[in-house]
Amino acid sequence: MNLEALCSDPLEVDEKYPATLECFTFSSNGYNVNSMLYIAQGEGPHATIILLHGFPGHEKNIDLAQIFRRAGYNVMIFHYRGSWGSEGTYSISNVLEDAEAAIDFLRSEKCKKSYRVDSEEIILIGHSVGGFTALMTAANHPEIRLVASLAGFNIGVYGDMIFGSNKLIKDAAAQWEDSIPPLKGITAEEFLVDAVENREKWNLKNIAEKLKSHSILMVAGSRDDVSIINEHHESLVNTIQKHEINDLKNIVLNADHSFSDKRIALGKIVLSWLLEQREKK
């Protein structure tokens, strides 16, 4: 099936196994996390994408979820602890734990039987802090072959940039303040202090070696004023290439942080990459 066909509605609907949307919670460290699963039509089981949103998640990339489902992938979107009504408090440590809990949930018998999930083919795709989370999580899962970072935000690099300067932290907190209302249990200052204290552990360049077994897609925006391209994207791409990770696709679009005027181009890039990887299996 070619790309244009996958960008169109199916000619026939599978009446027994139609495309559908399921909403539920899963447990992460004892807290209920709100989640949605866009289920592809057909008996399956279907490869399932975890689509990780950023901080705080104003851009949820649901248009991408619809594109991927139309192409035969299940797509899971969830809201990290302490965000958008999920229980608990928000922190980057909790975000990383929630990603692990989502993987465990998708591998459950319930997901295999009720949601047509192929637990052996989970794919991680994230935007901004979600891109950071996708790469950090993939580094712990060599069996998860595909990982994509879209306008990825390298928290460790950011922590390094503001380390040792109360003024920089104070100025940054003012910039992040408008992102805090959808979150519980955290202030902008606490988010930044956390980034500083964990700057080495959360620097994606320090875990590049652990990504050798993965196929990686990295997409950046040249006009991104959040994940600034030379700080968050180019430096990581260079580090990954030094580790001789051969299966890396690196694309830069003339776009802002949310790819606001490049949504169709972004969808085609990621879908083309997924289809290329499907053919390699």
Average pLDDT along the chain = 94
- In CATH terms, 3-156+203-280 corresponds, of 3.30.565.60, 3.40.50.1820, 3.40.50.12280, 2.40.50.100, to 3.40.50.1820
Rounded distance between C-alpha atoms, residue 223 and residue 214, angstroms = 28
Residues in CB range of 170: below 8 A, 6 or more apart: 189
The pLDDT, as a whole number, for residue 189 is 93
- pLDDT given for residue 279 in this prediction: 87
Strand partners, 24: 35
C-beta of residue 81 within 8 angstroms of C-beta of residue 89: yes
Is residue 6 over pLDDT 80?
no
Average pLDDT over residues 186-204: 96
What's the pLDDT at 280? Answer: 82
Q: How wide is the angle at C-alpha 153 spanned by C-alphas 152 and 157, nearest 5°?
A: 130
* Region 14-24 average pLDDT: 96
> Given this model, what pLDDT does residue 164 score?
84
pLDDT of residue 234: 96
Query: 110-128 burial string, b = 16+ CB within 10 Å, else e?
Result: ebbeebbbbbebbbbbbbb
Pairing of strands 117-127, 46-52: parallel
pLDDT at 281: 72
Q: What is the pTM of this model?
A: 0.95
Q: What is the pLDDT of residue 263?
A: 96
Taking the CA atoms of 37, 51, 130 and 140 in sequence, report the sign of the dihedral they define.
Answer: positive
Write out pLDDT tens, residues 116-154: 999 999 999 999 999 999 999 999 999 999 999 999 999
Average pLDDT rounded to a whole number, residues 206-220: 94
Please check the confidence at residue 86 and state whether its pLDDT lies above 80: yes
Q: Residue 251's pLDDT is what? A: 98
DSSP label at 165?
A: -
Which of 8-22, 196-210, 226-240, 252-266 has the weakest average pLDDT?
8-22
d(CA 102, CA 86): 13
Task: Mark residue 182 as left, alpha or beta (left: phi above 0; alpha: psi -120 to 50; beta: remaining).
Answer: alpha
Selection from 1, 2, 4 nearest residue 264 by Cα: 4
Q: Band the pLDDT of 212: cuts 50, 70, 90.
A: confident
pLDDT for the residue numbered 4:
65
**Tell me, what's the pLDDT at 5?**
59
Q: Please give the average per-residue pLDDT across 87-108, as a whole number.
A: 98
Sorted by where each begins, the domain ranges of the chain are: 3-156+203-280
What is the tens place of the pLDDT at every residue in 33-77? Answer: 999 999 999 999 999 999 999 999 999 999 999 999 999 999 999
pLDDT at site 223:
98
- In this predicted structure, what is the pLDDT of residue 12? 83
Higher pLDDT, 5 or 243: 243
Are 256 and 151 within 8 A, CB to CB?
no
Residue 18 CA to residue 181 CA, distance in Å, equals 37
Q: What percent of the chain stands above pLDDT 70? A: 96
